[in-house]
């Protein structure tokens, strides 16, 4: 028998197996538990309320706030410009292009940080980048931005400057004394248009 | 989980070391299977020796099947594997230049180094010509930049262009390759040469 026949006897069945079975489209987890723990310990996923307030006031187009609470809670109050992706719907296909992208800065928030951190961890494990968490969640937001506690008269200048910024930000974002009135009744913002990305970035190299 | 370097499983230096070993192995196999002979290499264009065609198609099929099976077993993430981006016009022009150089010089870039290392003088001239071409391309880059970047198509694969499953395309390529091997051996019997 000729070598070509041997070759054909091996590769044709392998090719037929390949043609018959469904394609593997799963992507293996990219982070080991050690790496994830390191990320969590470093606290790099947090954005402070001050940073977020500054971005909202400056209408930073790269910021996308994502409310991971339920729809009813979102209706009652949400941060300006935030979109609603309830935890239960996080992995649905319609949100994939919002979460898996490299243009915007996604910031998750919930009432505390628990759900937001869960969402962050899930997206990390899926290999998505540019997802972050609002430090302290909405409760801390209300405490610091909407109703900042006036500092002592003897506080250092930085404290007073911070308080002034927070007071101004709180007023600009409709806070001040009437927290509950702040953003309620405000219509939900339009979902920003996101063009689907072709595929994940490949690392440069080659032959 | 491969690819190793992209996922930080091995360092850049380890990567270079492995590339060095693999490169030496590749060169050794090329030389020991006669690929440092330009007469053998150009045989594929005259029909008296089609071993180049067979070897490179077999390599492509082996790699193709290997990657898909590794992906099936979750041992490699195909999305992380580098694919050359396609600029259609420069790819066609490059193919023509490469093919013409292959016929004229009797080497492809890899085999020319292989042949030069065993002391073939024509291969050394071939390498000098290759560097001259690289130099002209780099120095004259502004002249052909427009053409070089024309018709960018991203990183399409055959299965995406044809709208077929990867496995179907693989089976098709295997059948086409086996057909070409048969044509090649038929050509060898049609245009035999005694000494080369």
Q: What is the DSSP string of chain A?
A: --HHHHHHHHHHHHHHHHHHSPP---------HHHHHHHHHHTTTEE-HHHHHHHHHTT-TTEEEEE-S-HHHHHH---TT-EE--GGGTTSGGGHHHHS-SSSEEEEE-SSSHHHHHHHHHHHHTT--SEEEETTHHHHHIIIIISPPPPPTTS-HHHHHHHHHHHHHHHHTT-TT-TTTSSTTPPPPPPPP-PPP-SPPPPS---
Give the model confidence (pLDDT) of B9-64 as tens digits. 788 888 899 999 999 999 998 898 888 888 888 888 888 888 888 888 899 999 99
Query: B156 in helix, strand or coil?
Result: coil
Banded pLDDT at A27 (limits 50, 70, 90): low
A23 interface with B at CB cutoff 8 Å:
yes
pLDDT of residue A200: 47
Is A12 part of a structural domain of the chain?
A: no
Q: Is there a contact between B58 and A7 (Cβ–Cβ < 8 Å)?
A: yes
pLDDT of residue A186: 54
Q: Is there a contact between A50 and A139 (Cβ–Cβ < 8 Å)?
A: no
Closest-CA distance of chain A to residue B120, Å? 24
Phi, psi of A28 (to 5 degrees): -65, 155
Is A66 part of a structural domain of the chain?
A: yes
Averaged pLDDT, A46-57 = 89
Give the model confidence (pLDDT) of A122-135 as tens digits. 888 887 888 999 99
Give B166's contacts in chain A (Cβ within 8 Å).
18, 23
Q: Is the dihedral of CA B141, B142, B147, B150 positive or negative?
A: positive
Give the model confidence (pLDDT) of A90-131 as tens digits. 888 888 888 888 788 899 999 988 999 999 988 888 878 889
Is A184 part of a structural domain of the chain?
A: no
Tell me the C-alpha distance between A119 and A64, whole Å: 15
pLDDT of residue A156: 84
Selected residue with higher pLDDT from B79 and A171: A171
Q: Is the pLDDT of residue A199 over 90?
A: no
Q: For residue B19, give both structure tokens.
A: 């590339």
Averaged pLDDT, A43-58 = 88
pLDDT of residue B126: 94
pLDDT of residue A206: 40
Closest-CA distance of chain B to residue A3, Å? 11
pLDDT of residue A187: 58
Closest-CA distance of chain B to residue A196, Å? 15
Share of chain A above pLDDT 90, in %: 12
B195 interface with A at CB cutoff 8 Å:
no
pLDDT of residue A196: 57
Q: Is there a contact between B129 and B43 (Cβ–Cβ < 8 Å)?
A: no
Give the model confidence (pLDDT) of A58-68 as tens digits. 888 889 999 99
Are A27 and B77 within 8 A, CB to CB? yes
Give the model confidence (pLDDT) of A72-88 as tens digits. 999 888 888 899 999 98
Q: Is the pLDDT of residue A201 over 50?
A: no
Domain that holds residue B73: 42-79+165-196
Is A91 part of a structural domain of the chain?
A: yes
Tell me the C-alpha distance between B172 and B158, whole Å: 11
Is B196 part of a structural domain of the chain?
A: yes
- Cα–Cα distances (Å) from B31 to A80, A144, B25, in that order, read 68, 73, 10
Give the model confidence (pLDDT) of A5-17 as tens digits. 888 899 999 999 9
Helices (H), chain B: 12-32, 38-46, 51-72, 88-105, 109-117, 121-139, 141-148, 158-162, 166-190
Burial A161-174 (b: 16+ CB within 10 A, else e): ebbebbbebbeebe
The closest of A21, A36, A162, A147 to B71, measured between CA atoms, is A21
What A34-38 contacts at long range (C-beta under 8 Å, 24+ apart), as own/partner pairs, is A36/A121, A36/A124, A36/A125
Is A153 part of a structural domain of the chain?
A: no
Tell me the C-alpha distance between A19 and B171, whole Å: 6
ipTM score here?
0.75
Cβ within 8 Å of B, A 28-47:
28, 30
Phi, psi of A63 (to 5 degrees): -85, 130
pLDDT of residue A80: 87
Domain that holds residue A41: 33-143
Residue among A15, A24, A200 minimizing CB distance to B174: A15
pLDDT of residue A132: 92
Give B1's contacts in chain A (Cβ within 8 Å).
28
Give B161's contacts in chain A (Cβ within 8 Å).
none
Averaged pLDDT, A177-190 = 50
Is B64 part of a structural domain of the chain?
A: yes
Instruction: Assign residue A102 the CATH number of its domain.
Output: 3.40.250.10
pLDDT of residue B118: 92
Q: Is the pLDDT of residue A178 over 70?
A: no
Round the average pLDDT of chain B to a whole number and report it.
Answer: 88
Q: In sequence order, what are the beta bridge partners of A63? A: A105
Banded pLDDT at A142 (limits 50, 70, 90): confident
Residue among A15, A27, A204 minimizing CB distance to B171: A15
B171 interface with A at CB cutoff 8 Å:
yes
Is A167 part of a structural domain of the chain?
A: no
Q: Is the pLDDT of residue B143 over 80?
A: yes
Is A200 part of a structural domain of the chain?
A: no
Cβ within 8 Å of A, B 39-78:
58, 61, 65, 68-69, 71-72, 74, 77
pLDDT of residue A207: 39
Is A176 part of a structural domain of the chain?
A: no
Is B192 part of a structural domain of the chain?
A: yes
Domain count, chain A: 1
């Amino acid at each position: 028998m000729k070598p070509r026949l041997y070759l054909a006897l091996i590769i044709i069945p392998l090719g037929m197996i390949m043609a018959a079975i469904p394609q593997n489209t799963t992507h293996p987890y990219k982070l080991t538990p050690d790496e994830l723990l390191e990320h969590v310990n470093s606290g790099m996923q947090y954005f402070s309320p001050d940073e977020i307030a500054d971005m909202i006031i400056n209408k930073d187009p790269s910021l996308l706030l994502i409310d991971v609470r339920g729809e009813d809670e979102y209706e009652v109050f949400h941060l300006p410009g935030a979109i609603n992706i309830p935890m239960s719907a996080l992995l649905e296909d319609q949100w994939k292009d919002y979460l898996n992208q490299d243009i915007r800065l996604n910031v998750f928030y919930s009432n505390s940080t628990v759900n937001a951190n869960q969402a962050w961890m899930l997206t990390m494990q899926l290999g998505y980048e540019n997802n972050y968490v609002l430090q302290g969640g909405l409760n801390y937001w209300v405490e610091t931005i909407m109703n900042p506690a006036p500092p002592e008269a003897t506080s250092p200048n930085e404290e007073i400057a911070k308080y002034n910024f927070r007071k101004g930000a709180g007023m600009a974002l409709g806070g001040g004394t009437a927290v509950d009135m702040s953003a309620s009744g405000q219509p939900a913002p339009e979902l920003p248009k996101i063009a689907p990305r072709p595929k994940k970035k490949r690392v440069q190299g080659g032959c | 989980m491969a690819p190793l370097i992209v996922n930080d499983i091995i360092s850049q230096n380890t990567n270079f070391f492995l590339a060095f070993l693999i490169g030496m192995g590749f060169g050794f196999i090329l030389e020991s299977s006669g690929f440092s002979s330009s007469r053998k290499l150009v045989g594929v264009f005259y029909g008296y020796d089609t071993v180049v065609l067979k070897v490179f198609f077999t390599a492509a099929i082996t790699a193709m099947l290997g990657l898909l099976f590794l992906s099936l077993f979750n041992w490699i993430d195909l999305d992380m594997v580098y694919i050359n981006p396609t600029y259609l016009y420069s790819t066609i022009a490059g193919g023509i230049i490469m093919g013409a150089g292959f016929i004229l010089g009797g080497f492809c870039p890899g085999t020319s180094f292989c042949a030069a290392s065993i002391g073939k003088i024509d291969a050394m001239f071939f390498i000098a010509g290759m560097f001259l071409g690289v130099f002209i391309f780099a120095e004259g880059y502004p002249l052909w930049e427009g053409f070089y970047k024309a018709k960018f198509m991203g990183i399409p694969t055959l299965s995406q262009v044809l709208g077929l499953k990867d496995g179907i395309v693989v089976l098709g390529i295997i059948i086409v390759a086996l057909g070409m091997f048969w044509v090649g051996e038929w050509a060898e019997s049609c245009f035999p040469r005694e000494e080369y």
